[in-house]
Structure 1
Amino acid sequence: MNSEAVSALIAKSPSLKAAKPKLEAMEPGAYVVHRSWGFGQIKSYDEAAQRLIIDFKGKRAHPMDPAFCITTMDVLPEKHLLVRKETDTKRVNELIAENPAQLVVEALQAYPNNAATAIELEITLAQVIGEEKFKKWWAAAKKLVAKDPRVAVPEKKTECYVLRETPVSAEDEILEQFNGTRSARRRIALAEELMVATGRKDVKADLSVVLKGVADAVKDSNQLDASERLYGAAVRDDLAKAVGAENNFAPTQAAIIGNVRDLVAISEKIPVQFQSRFLELIQETHPIEARDILFTLLKTSQGKFTTECINFLVEQGHADELAATLKRWQTEQNLRAPVLLWIVKNRHSKKFAKLLNDLITPRLLSAIFFAIDYEALQASSARRIPLADILSEDTDLISDLLSTADPETARDLANTLMLNQGFEELTKKSLLARFIKIFPKIQSLVAADAESKEEQLLVSRSSYDRKREEYETIVSKKIPENSRAIATAREHGDLKENSEYKMAKQDQQVLMAQKTLLERELGRARVTDFKEASIEQVSAGTVVEVKTAAGGATTTYTILGAWDGDPEKHIISYKTAIGAALLGRKPGETVKVKLGGNDEEYTVVKITRFADKSAV
């Protein structure tokens, strides 16, 4: 906009006077970012209509009121990355591919005071690089930027990336952050970073100060739990070694893990990079009990720690004991999901062939199904179950595990699959197809399931709600309670003599059968108010007066939904013997019904509608 156009706008709206510089910047060719429309370029100004004509992506030649744009649109400087992406595309693309740190530096140069919050910078970079590629690119770029002495990297997203006037080395920046924080956790993390980054001799002198700070944090801080204190002690001892200091600090690493009962809780939180050293430390601190401790840790292990435990046991010469223990856990149904996951992932490994050969059996598939079901029932929200994922993704796994199965065992396992809570219905059918490929007779399971879904059940709203409430109670209360009971019973040891475990498992079978039956029935249910019932013949939703052939006594039956019934009020389901026999009959027709071993004969006298009766 030229000065005359701006003056005309201000004359019309004097309140715009303070925004004169911004209005003057809204000239043809300028690039802008609008709060709603995003990135665009001003193409022209329509003086007659007093409208800016702006090309936005996906919305060309869009007219906008300049007065409205003052608060909703920013005019970008020529150095802004979004502008340069349009005007100097080749250079920007080169920086994206070859020099991410320089790209960030040049991005910051376009901001006031050469500073931008992490959120602002990431939004701009995402638009320049593209949303699809940005996440992966930024994960790698951040590491390079953190090492660049020209950029101060914030700890939080709400703080700013700052382009320094004087470059600062990575070591000096870490020292500055270390001295500026009181957080024990942060000091330990920064000390570790400093050891990795240290390359200059003059910085090593500062390590003594860092060592004292870390030692004090490990000894006195109440912010740290046992696993954090142990890791801090390890960093402290590495620092002492690096500066050649005498290591007489307390508490020692051995003292922190001195109580065997604390080790499981510590193992759950130790950093991945410290897991191997943690196991070595246990071996040194508890040489006599080490083997038993390691098996206990393996039993409750998660993720990479499972692999570390197994590798360590093998390296320490416990391979035969490990094989026997895994087999015993399988028999006792004590194999947890992480260990099962490791077994199936390594079943073809030559290194572990002797260890795993006897485990690759149908019984292992049963253990996998149990672990998946247990994890699904314990989950408070819908989350991925890695063991279920690998069962779906590894197309050879089921055939490997069923290679020694007989048809009856395979059918039992297929039934277990169909009752499992850890799979969606489509996934169950896909997995069942792999069973059928090996044992074609299992196809009958699919046929039976399809047949059960063919017939719909007419039900009243009240009976449907009761049935649904029964289902919710089983799923949300009874099954989780049973799962906890099984888990508790498993901890009591030998399952062969464990009556609590056997009873809990029996209860589980009953509950899962009830749940499956309710799911099938609810899936077939069609709720009705019976207003469509006809009085021409008996149907669900009719009130029928019948006369017995023997004594001529009359009785009135109300025939309702599949789950309705109140004998005292003569309310019966259309699925009962009498209800089914009367369906389709007209007044004057006679039917025979077998009740209690006797044949009873009824004649239909009169038919009325239940809906009409209930409306009165």
Structure 2
Amino acid sequence: MSEEFKESVLKKLQEEQWTRTTITNYTNLEELEKIVQEAKEQGCTDEIKAICDEHLSHSKDSIIALYVSGILGVKKSSLDNTVLQTLVGIFLNNHKEALVESLCKTILEEDDTNAFALRTLISCYRENKDADNKIWETYEKLVKVDSEEAEAAKILADHYKELKNDELAKEFYKKALLRYVYIKNYIAVKDVWEILVKLIPEDIDFFYLVQRKIAKTISADKSATLMKDVYNYYKDKAKWDTAIEILKLILSIDPKDNWSRKEITTCYESKYKGHSHVEEYIRDAGFSYRNVFDAISDFEKHIAFDEGHFVFHNTWHVGLIRKVENDMLVINFGKKNGIHKMSLKMAVDALIPLSNEHIWVIKATTKSKDGGFSTKAEMVDKIKKDKAWTLKTIIRSFNNSCDIKKIKAELVPSILTASEWTAWNSAAKKVLESDSTFGVNPNNSNEWTVRDREITPEEKLSNEFKAQKQFFPRVDILMKFCNNDLDKTSELFVDMRDYFTGYLKSYINMGDTKDISEQLMASYLITRRVYPQFIEQNADSVNFEKLYRQIEDPRKMYTSLKDTKNTSLKADFLKNVGELSDWVQQYIRIFPAVLSKDMLTILVNKGHKDEVQKLAQTAFDDFKGYRDLIYFFFDECRTDEWFTEINIPLQKQLIALVNIISQAYKAIDNHVDSTENKKIIANICKLIFNTGKKKDDDGSSIYAQYMLGSDKETMTHMYTIVDDIAELDDLIKAQLRSRILEKYPDFKFHKAEEKTTTPKGMLVTKRKLDEKRALEERMNSVDLPKIAKEVAEAKEKGDLKENAEYIAAKEAQHKLGLDLKRLQEELARAVIFDPTTATASIVSFGTDIVLENKDTGAEEKYTILGPWESEPENGIISYMSPFGMNLMEHKLGETLSFTINEHKYQYVIKNIAINTALTKF
């Protein structure tokens, strides 16, 4: 900031005289806006705001200071509108409405969600009859930005109702009603409720939703009273099922409500008007004197058993009631189970009433009024093709709440095979997600429900949120709501949002606490993102720095924040840490948990390379405490300039990594974090030993290269610390031994134990394995494409029955396919033989033997290798051949006698020696 500009601002403030004449001279705010723009251009908005704030401490009515401080505060996204409110008050008291309007527009250019500016504009427009259109637009903006603004929503709803725009009127009345509930204004709730009962009486799900909120926040009794208005509509329309459900709800709140008891009997009489025993069952149920829900249960059980109704028995399954004679039912359970008679009393206990559209009835009768089929084949085809209908049918069959497991049980294997289910289920899940008539059961996140009316995306997510009981999945749902650009002024969103602010309110009420949980920290981060007004309003009680300083282990906190594709808790946490005064020290402190190359780049580029280098040095000095960090530095940073400058010896780095492997195996033996330890072992082995490579793996790993490039003593030490890890893959050790033998053919390893059992798989030499892998690659990439081309070309030449070229090409293609399959099977079984484990104490893989033929007296010499190396004509035989198997594991001087293909062999073993050229195979 230039001193000249600073002095000019100070001068203007000092020269300002607060008089009515001064205010009168303000016809616009251009001069004041120039100060704001200049501060912005010079990058000194904070300094200029501080100067104005200091001036206001002793000149509270300074128009210049109020304007500049207020607008710069808006630019900083501050929610404190105090100075602007003072300025607006001065202008209005002096009849400067035009300046107020101009000021509000300037505020909204910087922050279009500023509720204070919107309310002030509305006040201005009320005085200006020519601003009719502007006022309604501004009301809508206010309702959108302030989720607790109920009165404005009601005013808008009345406005659109007057204009006969029913859709918008309904939308804003709904918002107004839910917001009045939120602020517990029952008089306003009752007023809007009565309006909506007339406008949208059929939207029963909405009224149920509001009723639950009223019962929770205002009064259960008042919510029941309001539901009586909705009940009257359904009674008048003779929609008895819904009317009865409403009465049950009212009675659940007040079981002694005589009006509801009388009304429910009226509804039952009307619904079952044609039933032969309705009056008798109502009388026997005792609605006027018994527990009302016992009465309802008895009546509904009895009324369900009438002629023509379907029932279910655990043994006889689906049946149809054919006759009702006094208290005796005649039920047809189909050809298999026949006709049974049962008393009404027994039926109530033993049978389950079923509707005509129950999935069990449909499968048993293969007839459906709504399904559009009349045969079993048509029913099966309908289920397979019309997933939405099938899902709705099954879900409604089980009290309108059903999980995927139950749906599968109804379809497999009775309708779909297990393989058909896989594809059907995948398509069905897409229907459940995309069809707006399906929703998650608010009481169980695994179950789905069906609505007659479409469920809005907001309500769908709200139900998922209610059903989900775990904290971080709830965070995911809230952010999914935000990321899908849904209505964040929706009261459903406010309910979800308030779940997280509840954590912060509890923290504020409890005062300082050292127990900062990941849920509390996540709630702060989420609230700061979606509801910054709350954070601003409670900045003194809850802010990031205050929370952070109470965290015992920031690394653990970072790790505990669980992210999904919809959330960014970890990134938000780090962003807030980066705003702390000691952010460098905190970044270094947290880094072992973060392991981010971007974070390192920030630290190095901002001049903190020394701190990063010190961290790296500390890590390699303490492999037990920094194992993930050591792996990260070695994998991601070992060629970076800042890292190479430390000059940590490569030997030290490699030994640290091997020690981490050893430490991880010990932890696994003690059943400590087995999954994580297995992961770090696999990662390090892949990094320094080249494990996991399928080809071109000649053992030239980082570890082997360093080991072989060192002096013999160092090489021996490097090999030994690997060999001492008993659990480490023997193949890694074998590759290192092979490389050592290439350089030092006479190198002596610790004596290998004699193996008296044949290893699993097929022993092969490394050279042969490389040859076979190369052959597989050539067959896949060259031979198969070539022969496929030949088949295609031959096919184009005419009649395939007479086409010799085509037949020959197809035969060659078939043979090549079989050869490749056989080779791949052998490769899968191949195990590289470790030459350092060869022993001359017994006949084994890799030995040269001399046999004396007892029949001829001649000596025969053989080398024992594997099937791939076998050359019988040159004396190289496979240990898996009949001849080789009869020789294996016998000792010097033993006499052997065996028969192969009716030919008897008799030998004496005269000599056993390790093949000197074994390492070349």
- When normalised by structure 2's length, the TM-score is 0.34
* Larger Rg computed on CA atoms: 2
- When normalised by structure 1's length, the TM-score is 0.48
